[in-house]
Amino acid sequence: MDLELDRLSPQARKILGPDAPAAARMMAARGVLPGLKPGEIVTVVAALTHAEDAAVAETARGTVAKLPPPLLSGALASDLEPATIDVLARGYAERAEVVEKLVIMPRIRGETLELLAQRATEQTGEIIATNEQRMLEFPAVIEKLYMNKRVRMSTADRLVELAVRNHIELGFPAFREVAEAIQNELIIEPTAEPTFDDVLFNETERIAVATQAAAADQDTHQADEEGQEQLKEEFLPLYAQLAQMNVTRRSAAPCSALRASACCWSGTPTVWSRKRPSRAPFCTNRTRSASPPVEPFFPTCCASSP
């Protein structure tokens, strides 16, 4: 593990030196380092996760995984070494409050950001994506977020638009087609809640997974009274489910979904949603039909128009 030892205190350097007593290194691996600041304690423990002594390394890894909140908070407020940031990123990739502090650290490496993007949850993905300066500095992070199934589709679209606007070519499949399509779309600003396209993408993906799982056991279609094959109700996408709802059931549905399903469709065929090429459950660059699939309907809690 590469560290700038001259930035550490004499005590920390002694523990990490080749002549450090085994007992002292084991105590340090447990986080017992009296007199050191939180940033230095975590740096020493992180360094010991790569110790040649397997017992010391294993103990240090266990300590990193369960750092006391005050110690972790103190360390995150420090100017940590790049290698220490990487160790924390690997252990706390799904902890939003930790990721929020790590991504703004001035010495974070591009590969560490890529790791965080690859392991991101929906929440941490939003945190990473809002740092546009980092995204432009490390375009590979955009690629990792784009291919991460847990990241919102609207967020992935926004990042691709950022890359296109700054003349950055990304390396995922079908990027050029996506870049061309994005020029005809309005990219929304970040939102606290998933957009309708996010909901629809996740619903479509859920149906795709269910279809694949059920394919070996049951038919996904059934014949109606006229003998025509129809998709079974459990495999219907969200907009089709809304279309079949009566007024009472629609009233119970989330207002945001109903409003989006009614107003996101227009009479002009345009690109509907850019699915991640290797993630798309059915197809890519689908287009809207010329007429909306759901009649505009707004519950009393919504405005009369979008």
Tens of each residue's pLDDT in the chain, 306 residues:
777 778 889 999 999 998 999 999 999 999 999 999 999 999 999 999 999 999 999 999 999 999 999 999 999 999 999 999 999 999 999 999 999 999 999 999 999 999 999 999 999 999 999 989 999 999 999 999 998 989 988 888 889 889 988 989 998 877 888 777 766 665 566 666 776 666 666 666 666 666 665 555 566 667 777 878 776 766 665 556 556 655 444 444 444 443 344 333 333 333 333 344 444 433 333 332 333 333 433 344 444 444
Complete DSSP assignment for 24-85: HHHHHHTT--TT--HHHHHHHHHHHTT-SSHHHHHHHHHHHHT--HHHHHHHHTS---HHHH
Q: Which helix (DSSP H) or strand (DSSP E) does residue 229 occupy?
A: strand 229-231
Give the count of beta carbons closer than 10 Å to the beta carbon of residue 21: 10
In this prediction, residue 174 carries a pLDDT of 78
Tell me, yes or no, if the pTM score tops 0.85. no
Cα–Cα distance for residue pair 158/164, rounded to 1 Å? 10
Residue pointed to by tokens 């490390």: 138
In this prediction, residue 114 carries a pLDDT of 97
Contact between 266 and 280 under an 8 Å Cβ cutoff? The reply is: no
Residue pointed to by tokens 């995984």: 65
Q: How far apart are the first and last CA of the chain?
A: 55
Complete DSSP assignment for 52-66: SSHHHHHHHHHHHHT
Q: State the virtual CA torsion across 35, 40, 45, 48 in degrees, nearest 10.
A: -110
In this prediction, residue 22 carries a pLDDT of 93
Give the count of beta carbons closer than 10 Å to the beta carbon of residue 109: 15
In this prediction, residue 60 carries a pLDDT of 96
Contact between 286 and 272 under an 8 Å Cβ cutoff? The reply is: yes
